[in-house]
A = this chain, B = another copy of it.
Amino acid sequence: MDAAEFRRRGKEMVDYVADYLENIEKRLVYPDVEPGYLRSLIPTEAPLEPESYEDVIKDVERVIMPGITHWHSPYFFAYFSAASSYPAMLADMLCGALGCIGFSWGTASEATLMSLLAARCKAIRRVQATNSNYSESDVLGKLVAYTSEQAHSSVERAALIGGVMMKQVPADNSYAVRVDMLKKMMEEDKAAGLIPFYFCATLGTTPSCAFDRIVELGPLCNEENIWMHIDAAYAGSAFICPEFRPLLNGVEFADSFNFNPHKWLLVNFDCSAMWVKKRTDIIGAFKMEPLYLKHENQESGRSITFTHTHWQIPLGRRFRSLKLWFVFRLYGLQGLQAHIRKQVALAKVFESLVRADKRFEICAEVIMGLVCFRLKGSNELNQNLLKRITDSREIHLVPCQLSGRFVLRFAICARTTESSHIQQAWRHITQLTFELLQEPSH
Contact = CB atoms under 8 A, between A and B. Distances in A.
A406 B292 CA distance: 11
A191 interface: no
A121 to B, nearest CB: 9
A84 B296 CA distance: 27
Contacts of A325: 56
Interface in A1-44: 1-7, 9-11, 13-18, 20-22, 34-36
A48 interface: yes
B13 A90 contact: yes
Given A50-B330, A50-B331, A315-B107, A21 B161 contact: no
A86 B15 contact: no
Interface in A139-157: 140-141, 152-154, 156-157
Interface stretch (A109-117, A174-182, A351-359, A419-427): A109-117
A400 interface: yes
A244 interface: no
Contact of A92 (B96, B328, B332): B96
A330 to B, nearest CB: 6
A136 B109 contact: no
A123 B134 CA distance: 23
Contacts of A399: 291-292
Given A292-B207, A292-B398, A330-B1, A82 B101 contact: yes
A290 B60 CA distance: 32
Contacts of A83: 99
Interface string A80-99: 00111111111011101111
Nearest to A158: B313
Contacts of A72: 98-99
A127 interface: no
Given A10-B14, A163-B162, A292-B207, A56 B329 contact: yes
A431 interface: no
A137 interface: yes
DSSP class of A's interface residues: helix, strand, loop or mixed? helix
Contacts of A302: 34-36
A100 interface: yes
A374 interface: no
A18 B14 contact: no
Contacts of A317: 270
A93 B94 contact: no
A154 to B, nearest CB: 6
Contact of A270 (B82, B297, B318): B318
B6 A335 contact: no
B16 A3 contact: no
A93 B309 contact: no
A234 to B, nearest CB: 12
A267 to B, nearest CB: 11
Interface string A176-209: 0000000000000000000000000000001100
Interface of A: 1-7, 9-11, 13-18, 20-22, 34-36, 45-51, 53, 55-56, 60, 64, 68-72, 79, 82-90, 92-94, 96-101, 106-110, 113, 117, 120, 135-138, 140-141, 152-154, 156-157, 160-163, 206-207, 268-270, 285-286, 288-293, 296-297, 300, 302-303, 309, 313-318, 322, 325-326, 328-336, 390, 398-401, 406, 409
7 contacts: A10-B89, A10-B90, A14-B93, A56-B326, A69-B100, A120-B163, A157-B309
